Structure 1
Amino acid sequence: MTYSGAVKVGGPADVHELQDLMISKVAVGPMDNNAYLLRCRATGEQLLIDAANDAATLLTLIGDDGIASVVTTHQHGDHWQALAEVVSATGARTVAGREDAPGIPVATDVAVDDGDTVTVGRVSLTARHLVGHTPGSIALVYDDPHGHPHVFTGDCLFPGGPGRTTQPAEFQSLMAGLEERVFTLPDETWVYPGHGNDTTIGTERPHLAEWHARGW
């Protein structure tokens, strides 16, 4: 079955099967957040990106194998409503960007900076620190040795533009970070955002000047 990344609250997960990694995407309410379960094919170890809400849905997705860690992409409350329950049920270590960790009410075990590595089994992802939507948002880049990269952008990049900012300086900072640390990836790079449908870097790249001009 072909992966589309189109999911809805209450519906099934969509699974992107890569050679070394399986990525399961599910939507949870009440704000249509995306959560992503990554599973290393070689070891079976699992990692969850954003325990946003609906702990029962997430724990069902995780299954009996549990998770080694859960990454919170940023400190906004809609991205960690189920974090305490998921951590309590699984014993997973918690990971977040250093600057946002104090704003997450579940203690962060591993605070990451730009360029740090986050692992799931034998698979490595690189953290990219993006300032603007929040002070410590992180994206995670998986540079698939068998294909194109994949990037989990939280609320920093969506189809059609960057994440929400409230001040011009925040917008400029977020755009600069995206251009320096995300849009340096090739056009084929698959983008998994914190809400809504997926996209690719190539789909969004032609609109950078438009985003700068409109200021959001």
Structure 2
Amino acid sequence: MTYSGVVKVGGPADVHELAALMISKVAVGPMDNNAYLLRCRATGEQLLIDAANDPGTLLALIGDDGIASVVTTHRHADHWQALEAVVAATGARTYAGAHDAEGIPVPTDVLVEDGDTITVGRVELTARHLVGHTPGSIVLVYDDPHGHPHVFTGDCLFPGGVGNTRKDPEAFAGLLHDVETKIFEPLPDETWVYPGHGKDTTLGDERPHLAEWRARGW
């Protein structure tokens, strides 16, 4: 089946099958968060991005194979409500941005800096640190050697704009700068974007609107 990236709370996961990686997207409540389970096709190792809520849903998605690690994209509470339960059930190693870890009540095993590599089996993800939505938000870039890149953006980039910066001009300018220089400039239009809430998009769909976002200030 063709991957659409459209999921709803209580509904099934949508699976994006790549040559080396399987990406399962599921929505959890009550704030309609996205969680992503990445599975290396060569080794079967799994990694979860954002144990946001509904631990039963996430553990059912993970299945009997468990997960080696769980990455929290940022400190906001709607992105880690199920983290304690998932870690307790799986023994997963925890990752979070070095500047956000103190705001996450579950201990972080690995503090992530800009440019660090996180692996799931034989697949490598590159973390980029973006400032503005929170001080330590991270996004994960998978530069698929068999196709185009894929980027998991947390709440830093959505269809139609960057993440919420609470009407703070300095925070907005910082986030837009980081999104432009670390995401849009190095990555091609075909790059698939998996956000922390809602539908997916591509950089090609969003790139023409960067000047519009800058002018409106959000």
Gaps spanning 5+ residues in structure 1: where?
Answer: none
Look up the SS of the partner of 1:119 in the other structure.
Answer: strand
d(CA) in 2 for partners of 1:2 and 1:103?
38
The 5-angstrom pairing of residues 10-159 of structure 1 reads 10-159=10-159
Q: How far does residue 111 in structure 1 lie from its aligned partner after superposition?
A: 0.5
* Alpha-carbon distance, 1:51 to partner: 0.1
1:156-183: CA deviation from partner (whole Å, max 9, x where unpaired): 0000000000210000000000001010
> How far apart in 2 are the matches of 1:138 and 1:180?
14
Give per-residue Cα distances to partners, 1:122-180, cap 9 Å, x unaligned.
00000000000000000000000000000000000000000000210000000000001
Deviation at 1:84, TM superposition (A): 0.0
Give the number of equivalent residue pairs. Answer: 216
Q: Which amino acid aligns with 2:134?
A: T
**Which residue number corresponds to residue 2 of structure 1?**
2
* Alignment-mate amino acid for residue 93 of structure 2: R
Structure 2 residue aligned with 1:215: 217
Q: 2:191 aligns with which of 189, 192, 195?
A: 189
3-state SS of paired residue (1:182): helix
Runs of 4+ in structure 1 over 3 Å off:
none
Q: Structure 2 length normalisation: TM-score?
A: 0.99
Moved more, 186-195 or 176-185: 176-185
> Aligned AA for 2:86?
V
SS of equivalent to 2:87: helix
* TM-score when normalising by structure 1: 1.00
Identity of aligned residues (%): 81
Give SS of 1:129's match. Answer: strand
What code does the residue aligned with 2:72 have? T
Q: CA RMSD in A?
A: 0.3
Q: Distance in 2 between matches of 1:81 and 1:120?
A: 23
| Aligned match of 1:203 | 205
The equivalent of 2:176 in structure 1 is 175
Q: Which runs of 5+ in 2 are unaligned?
A: none
